[in-house]
Structure 1
Amino acid sequence: MHHVIPWHRGGKTDTGNGVLLCLHHHHHSIDTSGWEIRMIRGKPRIKAPSCYDPTQTWQPAGEHRAGAPAGPASRPGSRPARPARPARPARPPSA
């Protein structure tokens, strides 16, 4: 769990101050990449670096929950998942 307000800066160690991030973003880039995460009215919001969003607008974070299957992409600027390929028709039995 990523602490939105870091523990060493007085952030609480509870789920109200946490968001789930993948390992790479949690340990390597969230603090140095220009992305920001804040809790606004109890829900996580993200702000992209100006190179991605010149307006610097806070956006709702994805609605994924731990243990739930991932659904279509829900982050601003992300692409929707590709539709599944239709099943191949069965080949007729060979003679």
Structure 2
Amino acid sequence: ADSLSCVRILRKMRERVSESISKMKADMSRAEEQARREYERERRHEYDSAAYLISMNKQSAEKSKAALPHLLTMSDHLGVDLLHLSGSALSTVFDMKEMSSLKS
């Protein structure tokens, strides 16, 4: 019964901030795509594992930067400090697997 009430609470939270979630998804996707294009432009015909790992970290950082203003807005709207949650917890709250890679 407790897990069912938790599911209901999370669903209601998502409904209250659904517009912000949509905007956050779009901004995170744009940030990821921009970082990917930058990596491809710099490393056209070579494969460098260190550069790839740096690029993946940069993508994650850019997605975090894109999500931050939305998380602040949603924190205010919900009365919950979302910034204290880990990426995996945010992934559960927002039902977005891409949140699990966020850096705090």
Q: Normalization by structure 1: what TM-score?
A: 0.22
**More strand as a share of residues:** 1
**More helix as a share of residues:** 2
Q: Which has the higher contact order (CA 8 A, sep 6+)?
A: 2
Q: Normalization by structure 2: what TM-score?
A: 0.20
Structure with larger Rg? 1
